[in-house]
Chains A and B, each alone.
Chain A
Amino acid sequence: MSDTSPSEKPLNETWLILGASSAIARAFARAASAEADILLAGRDRTDMEATAADLRARSGRRAGVVAFDATDYASHAATVAQAKAFAGDGLLNIFLAFGTMPSQGEIDADPALIAKVIEANYTGAAHILHVAAPVLEARRAGRVVVLTSVAGDRGRLKNYVYGSAKAGLNAYLQGLRARLFRAGCTVTTVKPGPVDTAMSYGLNDMPMMAAPETVAAASLKAAKKGAETLYTPGIWLIIMTIIRLIPERIFKKLNI
């Protein structure tokens, strides 16, 4: 291991993108690949190979693919080991972008979905981050960016199972942030409003859909600053502040 400090010789950086087949992950990888190598992790290898090829053609930097299944916890150690090998002596950063969002109606019809929502959005995320944390701690540097959702800020009639999973993840990230802070690493919780992706496509016509590129660019910027929490687009900080302030006895009557 070299003990050269980063200020003297900039270390090579790698972003491990967990859940690399989403539109936001693709946009983030493109933005980050201007200055870093990219390792895409997910289940759809064909799709990730295409994105990796795209990143190489655009930036000329390294882009690789590794198998990752959020709910196959036993496989997480292998994924992290491969990421560690890919990053070599350089820094390892993590962008976590996976999740699943069945509608509340689908969940009401089939409560078995609750376990899947919690597993994919909470347990899988917490588990892979827990497996990866020692790698970042050992390098005493690195950035973690996790996409959660404004839905985690308050349980709502229309989306409370998904929201509760994201709320759990938010609390987990607060703890992880404190832990990694002691090792010089940052953890950024990104809470996007509705984003125009395959997840939301065709569900309803929300007028305030953000482009994946907007969320990705803002996330990267926040990561570089080491920001703790990011609402993106920024308007959602105001909206969610108001929503959080509504007294529960009134909130319960609202149809949102």
Chain B
Amino acid sequence: MTRWKKMTLTGWGRSHVASVEAARPERPRDLDEAMADTASGTLIAHGAGRAYGDSALNTNGRVVLTERLDRVLGFDAATGLVICEPGVTFANLMEIFLPRGFMPAASPGTSFATVGGALAADVHGKNHDRHGGFGDHVEWFDLLLADGTTRRVDAQNDAELFAATIGGMGLTGIVRAVAFRLLPNASPWVRVKERRIRDLDEYIEAFATIRDRSTFSVGWIDAVATGAALGRGILETAEFEAHDTLPKPRNPHRVPFDFPGFALNHFTVKAFNAQHYRRVPQTGRERRKSFAEFLYPLDALHGWNRIYGKRGFYQFQCVLPDAGARAGLRRLLEAISEAGNPSFLAVLKTLGRSGRGHLSFPMRGFTLALDFPRINGADGLLRRLEAITLDHQGRIYLAKDSLLTREGFRAMYPLLPRFERVLAKVDPASRLMSDQARRLGLKGAP
């Protein structure tokens, strides 16, 4: 019998709070029991809780915590194929496989995310142009469906269910194992080049050259800079570097309490951003960094979401196709600086191609990601950013989303009708459900 525990869960942004009943299976059969035990009512898988909004929340419903399903079920060094339970994290993968020269081909910006979450959100990393997204490397997965059966799904035997599950935000079923290819010839070290970028135009041009040349690239933007400095920032590119030592394990710090609301204001963020920009000399700089430090800069600060205080924050991430990116990014950055909402983590990257899922976020273009403290006016700002994204044929990333409208969602995801046809088939009673799915009007939500 499954034991359900009443608890309160939030997304990583802590903007949404949900009362749920949660099961925490440790063995495969516990997972079957949890599904069977929810013959009526709804549930959704919840991994590391790193989706920012309400993707893995189910208010007054149930969730299945996958953290204890954390085993590596197989690895073939000849092909790089690894099979994992859904609760295996990227930190686990890095720890086990990087010393052997293998790494996940696509890794999100935190190593605490799980493989199950990575599949559900079809996550991407700082190397999307080169290596694609997480879903591009998936061979098959075992999916526990609402009717209690488990199906091994690959791109051939059920192409539509495969495409609906990659990026499908956990709404097709609960993934109990994922088989995906790791990349060989990885090193625990990278050589990182950093240089200052004066403004948005220089950013667009720089990315146009480096996106096909560099393995990794990421731009940080000072989102409070205005006028001629609009879009200024630091561009980082990186390549693997062989080195005969292993990096020292990082010594993480923990944010011990919720910062007071006034800690992050326009002035502190402006000062921080300006200092951050000048940190890299005008002539640029180059140094060796551990791969983990480069990929997951914030993982050394556990609980960094508390910096935004009790009210939490929103994350916004959109992608704009190459053609309209310059004009669109300008409008987005202008809207942000006009709103005066202090954002100090703005990241610009390029994405190389569309994902394999019906609701995969990536498309060829530029992606901008920012955090906003949840202060007065933040909701309105997000609505404006949604409108600008739509104007430029872009889309918003569901793993980061908190406030996307139903109309916006339908316009941004043209394969939605196909996704919904699969849902009608595999989950006709809409038992797999999240607060986000309800908000977006999926699964017949009123």
Q: Are B27 and A53 in contact (CB under 8 A)?
A: no
Which residues of chain A are near B30, meaning CB under 8 Å? 198
Q: Are B71 and A54 in contact (CB under 8 A)?
A: yes
Quick one: which of A22, A26, A201 contacts B5, CB cutoff 8 A? A201
Q: Interface residues of A toward B: which range?
A: 10 to 19
Asked if B91 is at the interface of the complex by the 8 Å CB criterion, the answer is no
Q: Are B5 and A54 in contact (CB under 8 A)?
A: no
A46-B28 contact, Cβ under 8 Å, with A57-B96, A58-B72, A58-B96? yes
Can you list, as one digit per residue, whether each of A10-36 has a CB less than 8 Å from chain B (1) or not (0)? 000000000001110010000000000
Q: Are B74 and A57 in contact (CB under 8 A)?
A: yes
B1-36, CB < 8 A from A? 3-5, 24, 26-30
How many angstroms from the CA of A46 to the CA of B5 in the assembled complex? 26
Can you list, as one digit per residue, whether each of A207-222 has a CB less than 8 Å from chain B (1) or not (0)? 0000000000000000
Which residues of chain A are near B136, meaning CB under 8 Å? none
A50-B3 contact, Cβ under 8 Å, with A197-B26, A201-B24? no
- Determine chain A's interface SS by DSSP, over half rule: helix
Asked if B371 is at the interface of the complex by the 8 Å CB criterion, the answer is no
Q: Are B24 and A50 in contact (CB under 8 A)?
A: no
Asked if A51 is at the interface of the complex by the 8 Å CB criterion, the answer is yes
Asked if A105 is at the interface of the complex by the 8 Å CB criterion, the answer is no
Residue tally, chain B, CB below 8 Å to A: 18
User: What's the minimum C-beta distance from A103 to chain B, rounded to whole angstroms?
Assistant: 11
Asked if B409 is at the interface of the complex by the 8 Å CB criterion, the answer is no
Q: Are A23 and B26 in contact (CB under 8 A)?
A: yes
Asked if B296 is at the interface of the complex by the 8 Å CB criterion, the answer is no
Asked if A108 is at the interface of the complex by the 8 Å CB criterion, the answer is no
Can you list, as one digit per residue, whether each of B347-360 has a CB less than 8 Å from chain A (1) or not (0)? 00000000000000
Asked if A72 is at the interface of the complex by the 8 Å CB criterion, the answer is no
User: What's the minimum C-beta distance from A49 to chain B, rounded to whole angstroms?
Assistant: 9
Which residues of chain A are near B3, meaning CB under 8 Å? 198, 201-203
Can you list, as one digit per residue, whether each of A169-213 has a CB less than 8 Å from chain B (1) or not (0)? 000000000000000000000000000011001110000000000
User: What's the minimum C-beta distance from A99 to chain B, rounded to whole angstroms?
Assistant: 15
A42-64, CB < 8 A from B? 44, 46-47, 50-51, 53-54, 57-58
User: What's the minimum C-beta distance from B52 to chain A, rounded to whole angstroms?
Assistant: 26
Q: Are B74 and A44 in contact (CB under 8 A)?
A: no
Which residues of chain B are near A51, meaning CB under 8 Å? 71
How many angstroms from the CA of A58 to the CA of B72 in the assembled complex? 8
A200-251, CB < 8 A from B? 201-203
User: What's the minimum C-beta distance from B247 to chain A, rounded to whole angstroms?
Assistant: 19
Asked if B112 is at the interface of the complex by the 8 Å CB criterion, the answer is no
Which residues of chain A are near B304, meaning CB under 8 Å? none
Which residues of chain A are near B73, meaning CB under 8 Å? 50, 53-54, 57
How many angstroms from the CA of A235 to the CA of B68 in the assembled complex? 26
How many angstroms from the CA of A23 to the CA of B67 in the assembled complex? 12
User: What's the minimum C-beta distance from A51 to chain B, rounded to whole angstroms?
Assistant: 6
Which residues of chain A are near B71, meaning CB under 8 Å? 50-51, 53-54
Please give 17 more A-B residue pairs, beta carbons under 8 A apart, in addition to A23-B68, A47-B28, A201-B5.
Answer: A23-B26, A44-B27, A46-B29, A47-B27, A53-B72, A53-B74, A54-B71, A57-B72, A57-B74, A57-B75, A57-B96, A197-B26, A198-B26, A198-B68, A201-B24, A202-B4, A203-B3
Give 7 closest A-B pairs by Cβ, nearest first.
Answer: A202-B5, A54-B71, A47-B27, A57-B72, A202-B3, A57-B75, A53-B73
CB<8 Å pairs between A and B, sample of 7: A21-B26, A26-B26, A54-B72, A57-B73, A198-B24, A202-B3, A202-B4
Interface residues of A (CB under 8 A from B): 21-23, 26, 44, 46-47, 50-51, 53-54, 57-58, 197-198, 201-203
